[in-house]
C-alpha cells in the first residue's frame, strides 16, 4: 500500500514526540510506501486532487531506558514527483493548527479525492465542520459550563457566575493563548480586549475545573474506539497541562466515565469521517475534540509499552481489504471494529 502524509515541513517535526512520525514509521514497518507533501504542494488537475510528493524513508526511533532516541539524520527523501492523490491508498491530513485560510483551501482540494479509491484521514468535510473548540459544544451532556462570545459584558457575567474560568482562543493549539480568569483580576478588561482582538473574534470560556490540577487527560480514539490515553499534569506555577508548555506526562487508565464519553461521541465522529481523534478530558468532562493532528502516541507507547501507530495502520489495511472483499488480517496488536 501507499500512504501519503500532508505535513508541516519535515525538518520541523520532532521524531521523538510527533505522532505523525510514529504513524509514518508504523506504515514503513508494515512494508508500505510512505510519501510526504505539504498544503502548498496540492493542486486540482482535471477535477482531481494531485500533490507534489516525495518518497520518505525513516530511521525509526529507539527506546533507551525511559525515553525515545532518534538518529541524526532520521529521514531520507526521494525526488519530488507530481502524482494524483488517488494513486495512494490512504492520505493523512496532518498539518498542525491553526486552521488558516490556506488550510481550508487544502481541504477543498482534498474533496476531489474519490473516497471509493482513497481513504482520507480525517475527512476534509469533517475537518471543516469540527473546530477543535466549538465541536465539543454539541455534546452538552459531557462538557463543563461553556460559552463562546467576544462581548466583554457577556464574558464578565459568566465569569462571575462561575467564580473562575478558562479562556481559550478558538484557533489555538498546544495551550497557546489559554488564560485563567479570576473575577477580581484588575486586568480582566485588557485580557478580553487582547484575546478577542478588540471584540472582533469570539473566544471560548469554560468553567474552571479544579481537577485540572490532577491532569488533563488525552485519549486517542480510532474509528470511535478509545485505544490509549496519557495524563498531562501541570508543573510549577503553570495551570495548563499541555506538553508544549511543560506539562508532565504520566501513565493513566481510561475510566468508566471516560469510556462513556467516548461511546457518546463515537456515532457523530464516525458520521463526520473523523476516524483518528484525540479528546481532552478533565475531571470526567470533555473539554476539546482534537481532529487536525492529535498528538500523544509517542508518550502512550513509551508509558504503556504499546504501538498505537501500528494499530492505526493495521485498521487502515483491514479497511482497505474489506473494501476490496479480501479477508482481513488479524494480529494481536488490537481489536478494532471495521
- Point out the catalytic residue in the list 18, 25, 258, 288: 288
Backbone phi, psi, residue 256, to 5°: -60, -40
- Point out the catalytic residue in the list 54, 217, 232, 310: 232
Active site residue 89: no
What does the chain come to in residues? 338
Task: Give dist(CA 319, CA 336) in Å, integer.
Answer: 11
Task: Give dist(CA 146, CA 165) in Å, integer.
Answer: 9
Phi-psi label, residue 88: left if phi above 0, alpha if psi -120 to 50, beta otherwise: beta
Task: For residue 44, list its beta bridge partners.
Answer: 49
Active site residue 232: yes
Active site residue 128: no
- Point out the catalytic residue in the list 240, 298, 310, 319: 240
- Point out the catalytic residue in the list 54, 95, 168, 310: 168
Phi-psi label, residue 169: left if phi above 0, alpha if psi -120 to 50, beta otherwise: beta
Cβ neighbors of 152 (< 8 A, separation 6 or more) are 189, 192, 193, 196, 199
Active site residue 242: no
Active site residue 156: no
- Point out the catalytic residue in the list 280, 299, 301, 314: 280
Active site residue 253: no
Active site residue 133: yes
Active site residue 320: no
- Point out the catalytic residue in the list 54, 94, 95, 133: 133
**What number of CA atoms fall less than 13 Å from residue 27's CA on the CB side?**
26
- Point out the catalytic residue in the list 231, 290, 307, 318: 290
- DSSP code per residue over 250-305: E-----HHHHHHHHHHHHHHHHTT--EEEEEEETTEEEEEE-SS---HHHHHHHHT
- DSSP 8-state code for residue 98: P
Catalytic residue numbers, as ranges = 133, 168, 218, 232, 240, 280, 288, 290
Amino acid at each position: 500500500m501507499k500512504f501519503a502524509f500532508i505535513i508541516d515541513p519535515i525538518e520541523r517535526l520532532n521524531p521523538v514526540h510527533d505522532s505523525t512520525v510514529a504513524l509514518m514509521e508504523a506504515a514503513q514497518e508494515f512494508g508500505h510506501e510512505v510519501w510526504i507533501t505539504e498544503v502548498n504542494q496540492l493542486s486540482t488537475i482535471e477535477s482531481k486532487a494531485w500533490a507534489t510528493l516525495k518518497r520518505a524513508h525513516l530511521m525509526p526511533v529507539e527506546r533507551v531506558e525511559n525515553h525515545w532516541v532518534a538518529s541524526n539524520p532520521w529521514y531520507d527523501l526521494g525526488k519530488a514527483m507530481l502524482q494524483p492523490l488517488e494513486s495512494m491508498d490512504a492520505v493523512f491530513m496532518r498539518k498542525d493548527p491553526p486552521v488558516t485560510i490556506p488550510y481550508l483551501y487544502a481541504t477543498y482540494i482534498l474533496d476531489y479525492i474519490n473516497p471509493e479509491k482513497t481513504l482520507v484521514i480525517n475527512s476534509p468535510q469533517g475537518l471543516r465542520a469540527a473546530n477543535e473548540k466549538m465541536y465539543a459544544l454539541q455534546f452538552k451532556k459531557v462538557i463543563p459550563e461553556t460559552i463562546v462570545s467576544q462581548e466583554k459584558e457577556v464574558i464578565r457575567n459568566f465569569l462571575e457566575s462561575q467564580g473562575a474560568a478558562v479562556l481559550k482562543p478558538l484557533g489555538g493549539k498546544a495551550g497557546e493563548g489559554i488564560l485563567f480568569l479570576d473575577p477580581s483580576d484588575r486586568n480582566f478588561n485588557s485580557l478580553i480586549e487582547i484575546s478577542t482582538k478588540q471584540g472582533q473574534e469570539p473566544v471560548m470560556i469554560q468553567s474552571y475545573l479544579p481537577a485540572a490540577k490532577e491532569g488533563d487527560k488525552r485519549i486517542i480514539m480510532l474509528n470511535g474506539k478509545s485505544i490509549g490515553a496519557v495524563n498531562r499534569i501541570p508543573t510549577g506555577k503553570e495551570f495548563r497541562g499541555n506538553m508544549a508548555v511543560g506539562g508532565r506526562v504520566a501513565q493513566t487508565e481510561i475510566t468508566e466515565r471516560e469510556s462513556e464519553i467516548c461511546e457518546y461521541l463515537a456515532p457523530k465522529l464516525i458520521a463526520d469521517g473523523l476516524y483518528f481523534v484525540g479528546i481532552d478530558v478533565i475531571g470526567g468532562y470533555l473539554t476539546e475534540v482534537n481532529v487536525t493532528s492529535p498528538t500523544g502516541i509517542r508518550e502512550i507507547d513509551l508509558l504503556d509499552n504499546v504501538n498505537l501507530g501500528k494499530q492505526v495502520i493495521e485498521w487502515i489495511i483491514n479497511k482497505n481489504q474489506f473494501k476490496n472483499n479480501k479477508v482481513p488480517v488479524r494480529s494481536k496488536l488490537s481489536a478494532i471494529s471495521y
